[in-house]
Structures are given as structure tokens and as C-alpha cells.
Structure 1
Amino acid sequence: MYGLTTRDVRKLGFQLAEINGIVHPFNCEEGLAGADWLLGFRRRHPEISLRVPESTSAARARAFNRPVVERFYKLIWDVNSERAFPAHCIFNVNETSVGTVPSRNSAVLPSKREAAGW
């Protein structure tokens, strides 16, 4: 539901190198890949862009809860059971940044498809 910050991506890069036994020059004390590694990662993956997500209103955040989500999926199940939509007619759509605090959010790294709402 939340995007990854640049620090999150650097931490994952470090963890993957460690788990896979890859020799690296990363900062072992902080457990982070370097900023130069992140730059290279972004160059290797141009489909990922750095964006600042929009804040979500408090009312919208309160409306996103277990009973509402369960009701939504039950409705989807009932409609699909009744109509039997083929797979190519079902689309996945996501919200961009479901933040709960109405303040400036950290930049995240979504794919360009996610950022465009595809």
C-alpha cells in the first residue's frame, strides 16, 4: 500500500547482496547500499520513477478499513459469480499513495505504470 523510499530500496539492495553472498562495498554498519548503487539501479530500471505521493484525506483514510474492504471483495465475488467475467475483462486498479497523515510525504519509487495509474 505504501511505496518504497530511496532508503528502503538501498536497504533492500544491501539485504539482497548479503543473502546472496555477493561481495559489495556497501555500508555494513547502516545496512545500506550506497547512493551510487541507487543511481545505477535507477538507470538499469528506467520504468521506475521517483515521485512524491499525494496525501490522502483523513475521511478517506478512515473509510479504508476491514469491514469496508471485506464488503468490497464480497461484492466483486458476487458480481463475478453472477456474470462470470472472463479474465481479460478484469482490471487491477490501485490508489496512488494511501497516506494517513496529511503532511508532506517522502518520495517513493513506483514503476511508471503504477505512477500513471495503469
Structure 2
Amino acid sequence: MIPLDRILMSSLLLFSVTAAQAADGQKVFSQGGQNPAAMACLGCHGVDGKGIAAAGFPRLAGMPAAYLSKQLHDFRDGSRKNPIMEPLAKALSDEEIQAVTTTLAAMPSDVVAGPGRQQMA
């Protein structure tokens, strides 16, 4: 019979390894993904995720995670075309996409509600 303390230690070790491997959305946003081709989002979309309109980079902050995830998957599979985003999305793992889109959705967007518009943040 295996002693209880060994079972507990093994379980804790397994949990810590799994947690360490989980993607960190803030890290993906600010530093990029595990694959060097998965560059940081903030380079184009701004340090606050609010985009750089003059350069044509849209706001991501406050957008729904499911919407952002779909767009990244569409870039990755080629059903949405963009010469910048396609290779970046292909370099992200599913876990990184989930993590970064959740992080982006939680960021304040500063979008003001108006007639026919819903507040995003």
C-alpha cells in the first residue's frame, strides 16, 4: 500500500506542473507566446489593447473573448485573411488563444454607450 503522504505529494506535484504549463494571457499579450513567431499583441494593438487607429490596428480590449477567439482561429485556419495576423495566429496554441482572449475581454475598453450601442466595458 502506498503511504498517504506520497499520494498527496504526487498530486501536488502534478497540479503544480499543470498550473505552470497553463498559458498566461497577460504574458501572451505583453511578451508573446511560446513559439517565437507568436509576437506580443501590444506591439500593434497598444499597451492597453485599445488599438492604434491611425495605423489601422483595432481595439481588442473589452471585446468578448468568444469573438476574439473566433477571429484568431479564423486567421489560423486561413478563412480570414491578413498577412500580419495569419502567421501570428498559427503560432499560438489553443491554450494561448483562450488565455489571451480572456485577458483582452477583461481589459477596460473606454467605449461609451450611445444610441443603438451597448457599453462594452
- Per the shorter chain, which TM-score range? under 0.3
Higher relative contact order (CA 8 A, sep 6+): 1
TM-score (norm 1): 0.26
TM-score (norm 2): 0.26
The structure whose residues are more often helix, as a share, is 2
